[in-house]
Structures are given as structure tokens and as C-alpha cells.
Amino acid sequence: MKENIILLDGKSLTLPQLIAVAEDKQKVQICPGAIPAIENSRAYVDRLVEEDKVVYGITTGFGEFSKVAISKSESATLQKNLLTSHACGVGRHLSADVVRAAMLLRINALARGFSGIRLSTLQTMVEMLNRGLVSAVPEKGSLGASGDLVPLAHMFLPLIGLGEAYVGGEIMHGKDAMAAIGLDPITLSSKEGLALINGTQVMTAIGAITIHRAINLLKLADVAAALTMEALNGITAAFTPKLHLLRPHTGQMNAAANMLRLLEDSRRTTAPNEIRVQDAYSLRCIPQIHGASKDAVNYVLDKVLTEINSVTDNPLILADEEMAISCGNFHGQPMALAFDFLGIAVSEIANVSERRIERLVNPQLSGLPPFLTEKGGLCSGFMIAQYTAAALVSENKVLAHPASVDSIPSSANQEDHVSMGTIAARKADEILQNAKNVIAIELICAAQGIDYHCPDKHLGRGTQPAYDKIRQHCPAIDNDQELYPLFESVVAIIDSGEILDAVEGAVGALK
């Protein structure tokens, strides 16, 4: 076995492996131990077709058309028609990392051996992923039940020589894309079209990548808050461990511990009554606010880890029991609720970060120069940086409205309750992007505030490397200038992991 190849058996895929395939293009292979179940399942489907058994999606039409019998001779046409008729998405194409993750998840689900797909078809899908074909998948059109029918149909059109795909960043017809990577399109056999598109893999791919980034962003929110504590001479007594043991929510305790580790040895924090009796909530309640979001993210993570190793096809093929059962594993409700929760949790992190930005730029609250400039009047300083943060937070409040509370019946009311899980996942990702920009603005403003009344710095063990990394890419400003390049620079080092790596190199892994 070659090194660094991820073996897929439908049961043991991890989030780091998913990220490695999605972002780093790591290669995959069907686990040899999974092959007998795949072949056994396929053999049972072939038997059902030969015996003209009435089984949904195998010898019948789909949805409302499940009442229509399909002959053996029409089986291949049925599967092709399924993909072509369902490929009706709209909007921008999903990013390449999301498409790779979705392809990975679909392969992993089919490798479990309960879907009746041919091994040769599955191996062609593996080669498409490994050789760099990225299907052109419109982002909108999924109701989240029966899974992600529309985007998954687009994803697999190139497999049959249709649709569009990117190879080396260039978009081309699906047949040409397959030829460019040295593969021939295939002809689908019975059940295979349904096996390809009936599942939650697109919503789960978007959500899995978002949860991975959210975990790191919540750590960076603690770093930003710690820098703001130093810029505002915050009181660290509120982070005393014994206080949090009296209300032992895991996230709260972890956030409080993070703050103390980050601020260890800092000479810029204070004790009660040294400057003020107590801090405002946005500082004093960092453990409670950040911690609640950490707990929510961990809940969602647990749901994602379950889903990436689940079988979400329909019907499911229980070959050993000689049963093909139409069930509802494709329904996205477990993920829809989770991703709505994720969006709300990340939105709250941006909310409180914007309040800390306001405290940094407002001289009535900070003790710092108005809007972090000593040339007020002539210069506006960071006045409008807070505007941008406020706009992003306000947008997040709209996006945080749950998608999962909505349902529109489809397929002549056969599919009379749908999850909207893919919309929930896409909204969570957009909220995360907005929150990341808010955190970047707080990091910049906190560093600017530190410079004004802390010439010798004396920062904490964790905040000093964060400050140094920010200043390496984003110098302090004396006169008004375009701020957006500074924001972009800090967002870039958030995305690259440079800040978090520097901080955790100094204090160990944050929680």
C-alpha cells in the first residue's frame, strides 16, 4: 500500500482526513476489506432485476413515479434520465474543496456496501477524485431531502460524459474533462443513478469544512479577546478557575483556561479596583459567551462525525437478508438542525467581538485616543472599521434565521417534508466568513490599542506571539490610509493558520 493513501470503508473516515482530501488533494482508495460487501450488494440488485421484482428505484420510477414499472431493457435509460433530469441547479459553482469533500463522502458511503453500486463504478469515482476532476456544481437547488439530489446529479454528470467539470482550473464539457484525466465515461446500470444522488453529502461536505474552520476561529476569538483585554487593561479575576467549576459547562471552563494561559505574565491586565471595579460583559463574560459557542460547535462536530460515516442511500440493500427497503436515511434533518445551530453559535462570536471593537474605538469606554488615532478630526482612524464589523454582525443576524424550520412539499406531495439542510450549511459557512472578518478587525484594533499605552508591550505568553505575527503583516498606522488591505492581510494569516500556530507554539493547544 502506498503511503498517505486514505482507505475508505464507510465506517472510519475522520474529519482531518476529509480536510486533507478537500484542501490538500490527498488520494484515496477503497479498502480491500470493504469489497466483498460491495460486490454482494451488487449481486443482489442484479438478481432483483433478473427476477423482475418490484423495488423502488430499481424496477420503478422515482418519487410520484414509483407507481410506474420499468422493464429490464429500460433500466440503464432510467438511471441516465435520473441524473440528467435532476441536474437543474442554479447559482455560482460550489468551491473545489467542497466538491472534493462531497465526492469523498459519497464514495465513502457507497463503500459501506448497502447501495448496490458496481465496484467498477465506484473505482471510476475514486479515479475522478484522485486525478483532479472537480465537477461544476451549482450551489443552489437542494431541498435537503431526498438528500442533495440536485447538486449530486450535477456532480456525477461527468461520470456519464455529460455536464461540466474543472480540470486544472479550466472548465470543460464533462466528456472532455474525463478524457483530460484519462478516463472513459461509463454507462450506468440498474440502481446506480439513485445510489449516486440520494444522500446528504453536499450539505455534509459544506458543514464539515465549516465546522473544521469554526473550531479554529473560536480559538482565535479567544486570542483576539485576550489582546483586547490587554489594550483595555482588563481584569483577569473573572477567569479564576474555581468560579467556573461552580458552573461547570465544558466550553466555559475551557475558554476561561485559555484566557489565563494566553495572558500569563502579562503586565497589561489588572485586578479589581486597580483601575475599575469590574469590566463590561464583553470582557468579563468571555468564558460564558465564547464557551457556549464552543459547546455548540462540539455538538455539531459530533453530528458531522456520525454523518460522514453513515449510509444515506435509498432504497438500502440488505443483501444478507435479501431485502431492499425504501427508508428515509437520505433526509437531512439531523444535519439541518445542527448547521443552523452552528450558524447561530458562530454569529454570537462575531456579535461579542464587535462589542469589544466598539470598546476599543470609543474613547468614553477605552481610555485610548478616539478611534485609535491621535490626529482625531484630521484623521478618522478606525472609526469606520467598527462600521464594517457592525454591518457584518447585522448581516449574520439575518443569516442566522434557521433554514430547518421551513419545508416546502415536492414531488406531488410524495416528499411532503424536506430539511433545507444544504441552505443551513451554506448559511453557516457565510456566517463564518463574516465572523472571520470581524475577528480580523478586532485583532488589528487591539494591536493598535496596545501600541498607544503599552510602549514596552509586556504582553502575555500567548498574546505576544499573536501581536508579533499581526505586526509582521499589518504595521501600526499613524495617518489615515486604506484599511481594507490590512483586513485582507490578517484574514490571510487567519486562513493560513499562522497566528494560531504561533500562539499554540508558545502556550500549547488551546481548547
Q: Is the peptide bond before 315 cis (omega within 30 degrees of 0)?
A: yes
Question: Is residue 396 domain-shared with residue 475, that is, in the same domain?
Answer: yes
CATH classification at residue 480: 1.20.200.10
Give the residue from 175, 199, 223 where a domain finishes.
Answer: 199
Is residue 197 within 8 Å of 125, Cβ to Cβ? no
Verify whether residue 56 is a known catalytic residue: yes
CA dihedral 411, 412, 415, 419 (to 10 degrees): 80
Q: What is the pLDDT of residue 13?
A: 98
Is residue 376 within 8 Å of 425, Cβ to Cβ? no
Q: What is the pLDDT of residue 147?
A: 86
Give the H/E segment covering residue 121.
helix 119-130
Give the residue from 151, 175, 199 where a domain finishes.
Answer: 199
Q: Is residue 212 part of a domain?
A: yes
Q: How far apart are CA 189 and CA 160, in angstroms?
A: 11
What is the number of other CB atoms lying within 10 angstroms of the CB of residue 390?
16
Residue in the structure block whose three cell numbers are 450549511? 425
Identified catalytic residue from 44, 56, 452, 484: 56
Q: Is residue 322 part of a domain?
A: no
Question: Is residue 137 domain-shared with residue 243, that is, in the same domain?
Answer: no
Is residue 241 within 8 Å of 459, Cβ to Cβ? no
Q: How far apart are CA 480 and CA 496, in angstroms?
A: 28
Q: Is residue 265 part of a domain?
A: yes
Chunked into runs of 10 residues, the chain (511 residues) has average pLDDT values of: 81 98 97 97 91 79 69 82 95 98 98 96 98 98 92 98 97 98 96 93 98 98 98 97 98 98 95 94 98 98 98 92 90 96 98 98 93 91 96 98 92 85 97 98 96 79 97 93 95 96 97 96
| C-alpha dist (Å) from residue 412 to 57, 68, 193, 200 | 17, 15, 21, 22
Helices of type H across 141-285? 149-156, 174-180, 192-197, 201-231, 241-245, 250-263, 281-284
Q: What is the pLDDT of residue 2?
A: 47
Question: Is residue 179 domain-shared with residue 222, that is, in the same domain?
Answer: no
Q: Is residue 321 part of a domain?
A: no
Strand-pair partners of 164: 173
The dihedral region occupied by 253, where left means phi > 0, alpha psi between -120 and 50, and beta the remainder, is alpha
Q: How far apart are CA 335 and CA 145, in angstroms?
A: 11
The dihedral region occupied by 233, where left means phi > 0, alpha psi between -120 and 50, and beta the remainder, is left
The dihedral region occupied by 318, where left means phi > 0, alpha psi between -120 and 50, and beta the remainder, is beta
Q: What is the pLDDT of residue 1?
A: 38
Question: Is residue 215 domain-shared with residue 189, that is, in the same domain?
Answer: no
Q: Is residue 175 part of a domain?
A: yes
Number of domains making up the chain: 2
Question: Is residue 138 domain-shared with residue 274, that is, in the same domain?
Answer: no
The three cell numbers locating residue 12? 472510519
What is the number of other CB atoms lying within 10 angstroms of the CB of residue 364?
7
Q: Is residue 51 part of a domain?
A: yes
Question: Is residue 400 domain-shared with residue 422, that is, in the same domain?
Answer: yes
Range of the domain at 266: 207-313+329-507
Question: Is residue 376 domain-shared with residue 406, that is, in the same domain?
Answer: yes
Give the residue from 179, 199, 219 where a domain finishes.
Answer: 199
Q: How far apart are CA 65 and CA 63, in angstroms?
A: 5
Q: What is the pLDDT of residue 3?
A: 58
Question: Is residue 188 domain-shared with residue 224, that is, in the same domain?
Answer: no
Is residue 433 within 8 Å of 210, Cβ to Cβ? no
